[in-house]
Amino acid sequence: MKDELINIALPKGRLGEKVYDIFEKAGYGCPSIRENNRKLTFEDHESGVRYFWVKPSDVAVYVERGAADVGVAGSDILAEYGPDVYELCDLGIGKCRMCVAGKKDRGDDTSRALRVATKFPECAKRFYMKKGREIDIIRLNGSIEIAPILGMSDVIVDIVETGKTLAENDLVVYEEIFPISARLIANKVSHKFKNESISALAAGVERVCAEK
């Protein structure tokens, strides 16, 4: 029985299920989480954890503000928002790539700004800034692939996992920007004051990930 619980933000969805399996194997199980209902928070005093499901892109916000002591977020989200958190380890799951993609037969007119449709404007800006290419960001929230098909953008900067979405829409990857995977992150203050329990949890998670 633990007095102080570690608050853990899990990304809702398929990745979150995998993440919870890892935490459970590491000794931080919370059986009630398996109950299929719409509850969002679960605690287990034996394991000393309180879990909550949040939107994957919001995990870093909960951790940065200390509502969660730790959480699991994709390195794409960390690269885009740059939250002030500690990155404790790479879980080696949720692997995909941040890419520039577009139509197969596109020619590049460098005399004007490149129109880039994306959910990741900061990643796109940094990438093209390094290249010294002027861009016009078109900020979208999903179905980014439609933008070049309709001629609204020249390229997209987006996540590619299996590559199916691109293939089925006759689009191709032009360049890979960086590889992505899920990371265990911690709030900086929690990491200081709950150091022992957070370090033990991170070590357990790392051990389970290394066994896979």
Binding residues vs ligand PRP (CB under 6 A) = 142-145, 158-165
Q: Which is nearer to ligand PRP, 49 or 59 (CB)?
A: 59
Phi, psi of 3 (to 5 degrees): -75, -45
**Spatial distance between the Cα atoms of 209 and 90, rounded to a whole number of angstroms:** 9
Burial class (CB in 10 A: 0-12, 13-18, 19+), 5: middle
Question: Which of 36, 162 has the CB closer to ligand PRP?
Answer: 162
Closest CB to ligand PRP among residues 75, 190? 75
CB atoms closer than 10 angstroms to residue 115? 17
Of 159, 35, 147, 23, nearest to 91 by C-alpha is 23
Q: How far is the CB of 118 from ligand PRP (least distance, A)?
A: 9
Closest approach, Cβ 125 to ligand PRP, in A, equals: 18
In the complex, least distance from residue 119 CB atom to ligand PRP, rounded to whole angstroms = 6
The nearer residue to ligand PRP, 30 or 155, going by C-beta atoms, is 155
Length of the chain: 212
Q: How far is the CB of 168 from ligand PRP (least distance, A)?
A: 8
